[in-house]
Structure 1
Amino acid sequence: MSAPAIDPVQTPSGKPGKSAKLSVSLTGRSGGQRRTTPARFDTALGWSDRPGPAWALRILLCAIALGVFAAPFLTILSGALSTHPSGSSLSFFPHDATLLNMRVAGERGIWDYFSNSLVIAGGGLLLQLVVCTLAAYALARHRFRGQALVLTLFMLTMMLPEEVIAIPLSLVLGHVPVLGLDLKGTVWGVILPLGAWGFSVMLLTEFMKDIPDEIEEAARLDGVGELRMLWQVVLPLCKPALGVAGVLGFIMIWDQYLLPLIAAKDPTDYTVTVALAVLRTDPEVGSGVVLAGAVIALVPSLVVYLLLQRSLVTGIAAGATKG
C-alpha cells in the first residue's frame, strides 16, 4: 500500500500555514478508490447500530422503562372501555369494549365538573404567569431593599403543605380582609390563591438574571420604558422558561384537590378532581365509571404537554447547561 498523500493548504505567501487543514487520502495498490469509514450511529445514550450484548441490554432497559410508565395509562384506558373491569388484576386490553362507562360518567355530571376545571385552570394559569413574570422581572433586573426577604418568602410558600394552610385559607375566602367579600362558591375563590407560585417566580428570576445588561442598556438608550422592556426585550428571551412555567403551572392547577374542595359551597362548584373522589364513593357506580372519569381528566394535561413539549425540553436543557 502506498503512503498517504498529504496536500498542504497554501497560504497567500505560498508557504503552508501552521493551522492549515490536511487532506489525507488512502489509496490501494492500484491507486484507485478512496476508502471511507462508515459513520458511527451515536446518541446521548451511546447507542450503536451493531447488535451486541450492550445493544440488547439498552433495548431491555428501554422496554422496562416504557412498561413502567405506560402500564398505568393502558390499564386506566382498558378499564374505562371494559364492561366489567377487574380491580384485582392488570389488563392492557379491554374485555367486551363499550362506551357505557363514559355515558354513565356524563350522566353523573362529569362534563360540568370538567368545564369548571377548564375555567379555573385557564384563568388561574393566565393570572399566575402575569403575576410571576412581573415579580421575577422586579427581582431579577432591579435592586431594592428587602429583596432577599422577598425571595425567602417565595421559597417558604413552597415548603408549607396545603393541609397546613387549609383552615386559614378557608377563613380568608369566607371573609376577605378589608374588602369583606365572600369568595366561596365562585371561581375566584380558587383562581386568586393560585395567582402566584413560588416555583415559577424562582424559575423566571434565574432566567432573567442571565440576560446581558448590554441588551437592556441599549434598549434604554432608545427610550424604552419598563413595560415595553419587559414585553419586547425580556420576554422573547425567556420563552423556554415560560414554556416550563406554563406546562408545570397548568398541571399544578389542574390537579388541585383541597383548594376547590374548601372553596366550594355546593357540589356543582366541584372540579373534575373532586368529582372523581365523589364518584369513587358512589355505591351505584362501578370502578369502570371512575376510570372513565380519570381518562377524561387526563386529556387536558396530555394535550398541554404535547403542545408545549418543545418549550419544556428546551427550558429544562437551558437550565441544565447554565454556568
Structure 2
Amino acid sequence: MSAPVIDPVRPTAPGSPARPGARPRRTTPARFDTALGWSDRPGPAWTFRILLCLIALGVFAAPFLTILSGAFTTNAGGSSLSFLPHDSTLLNFKVAGERGIWDYFTNSLVIAGGGLLLQLVVCTLAAYALARHRFRGQALVLTLFMLTMMLPEEVIAIPLSLVLGDVPVVHLDLKGTVWGVILPLGAWGFSVMMLTEFMRDVPDEIEEAARLDGVGELRMLWQIVLPLCGPALGVAGVLGFIMIWDQYLLPLIASKDPTDYTVTVALSILRTDPEVGSGVVLAGAVIALLPSLIVYLLLQRSLVTGIAAGATKG
C-alpha cells in the first residue's frame, strides 16, 4: 500500500483566490522598530520609553522655548521667564539692533562663510594626501592633527595673539581684520581625520582605472574621490560651520576695536550693559541661534547619512 502524497503548503500569491478549505493565514503587523526598540503594543516598557522621551524633550527644548519666549516678552527678567511670552513685543529686537547686533551678525557671517570655505579646501587636500599617498612621517602628521584637538583654546590664546600681531616671515599684523579670525580656522583636525578615513575606503581599482585614462591628481580628487565622500563632506560642513560660528575667544583676541566683534562676543557686551534688560540679551541670542539652526535643518540629511556611513564603515 503506497503512502499518501502530502501536498506541500505553498504561499498564495497576492490577489489570487484562496484554495477551497484552506485555513486563513494569520498576518503579523509590521513592527515599529526604533533606536529604543519600541513596539506598537502599550505596556510598562512602552510607558517608560515615552517618559524617557518626554524628559529628553524637556531637557533640550525647554531652554530653547525659554529663550524664544523671553525675546518676545516685555521687560523679561531672570525670575519671570516662561515657555509662553507675556505682553508680546518686538521692542527687544529693535533695541538689540540699535546696539549694533546686526553689524556683529554680519561680521560673523563673513567669518563663518570664509572660514568654512577655507577649512573645507585645506582639510580636503590634506585628507587626500594622507589617505591616497604614502610618504615618510605620515603617522607623525596624523598625530599632530590629533594633538591639535586635545589643546584647549585657553592654552594657545596668548601665543596665538602674539602670532596674529606679527606673523612670522611676512611680518603682518592681522589683528582687526577678518583674516585674523579666518586663517587660524583654516584647518581642523577633526575634519582632516574624518575625511581621511572616508577617502581610504575608496577602492584602489577605481583610482588605478582613472590613472590609466590619464587622470591627474586634482581631477582625481574632484571627479572621483569627492563624489564618493559626499556624506563626509556634509558632516564636515555642518560641524565646521557650527564650530566657527560659536567661536568666542579667537574673535576676542584678534580684534582691535569693538566693531570687529562677532555676534557671540557682542552677546557678552549686551549682558554687561546696565541699560538693557534680559529681553534684549535673549533677542540677541535668538538672532545668533538662527544661522546654526538653518544650516542644521538644511543639511541634516547629509549629517545623518555621514554619521550612519561612518558607523557602518568597514
TM-score (norm 1): 0.91
Q: 2:242 aligns with which of 233, 245, 251?
A: 251
Query: Superposed, which structure 2 residues align to 1:255-270 within 5 Å?
Result: 255-270=246-261
Partner of 2:186: 195
Aligned residues: 305
Find out whether 1:79 has 2:67 as its counterpart.
no
Cα deviation, 1:242-263, whole Å, max 9, x if unaligned, reads: 0110000000000000110011
Inter-partner Cα distance in structure 1 for 2:225 and 2:132: 10
Q: Tell me: higher relative CO, structure 1 or 2? Use CA pairs within 8 A at least 6 residues apart.
A: 2
Find out whether 1:119 has 2:121 as its counterpart.
no
Cα deviation, 1:27-55, whole Å, max 9, x if unaligned, reads: 99971573231323321222222222222
Partner of 1:42: 32
Q: 1:6 aligns with which of 5, 8, 28?
A: 8
Deviation at 1:191, TM superposition (A): 0.3
Task: Identify unmatched segments of 5+ residues in structure 1.
Answer: 8-21
Deviation at 1:93, TM superposition (A): 0.4
Deviation at 1:172, TM superposition (A): 0.9
Which moves more between the two structures, 41-50 or 59-68? 41-50
Work out whether residues 70 and 81 of structure 2, in 8 Å CA contact, stay in contact via their aligned partners in 1. Answer: no
Work out whether residues 78 and 94 of structure 1, in 8 Å CA contact, stay in contact via their aligned partners in 2. Answer: yes
Partner of 1:14: none
Work out whether residues 69 and 81 of structure 2, in 8 Å CA contact, stay in contact via their aligned partners in 1. Answer: no
Find out whether 1:281 has 2:269 as its counterpart.
no
Inter-partner Cα distance in structure 1 for 2:177 and 2:7: 81
Q: 2:11 aligns with which of 19, 23, 39?
A: 23
Indicate the SS of the match to 1:268.
Answer: helix
Deviation at 1:62, TM superposition (A): 1.0
Deviation at 1:57, TM superposition (A): 1.8
Inter-partner Cα distance in structure 2 for 1:92 and 1:284: 25
Work out whether residues 6 and 23 of structure 1, in 8 Å CA contact, stay in contact via their aligned partners in 2. Answer: no
Which moves more between the two structures, 76-85 or 28-37? 28-37
Which moves more between the two structures, 293-302 or 172-181? 172-181
TM-score (norm 2): 0.93
Do the aligned partners of residues 103 and 6 (structure 1) sit closer, same or farther apart at CA in structure 2, a change above 3 Å counting? same
Which moves more between the two structures, 217-226 or 33-42? 33-42
Structure 1 outlier segments of 4+, above 6 Å: 27-30
Work out whether residues 180 and 254 of structure 2, in 8 Å CA contact, stay in contact via their aligned partners in 1. Answer: yes
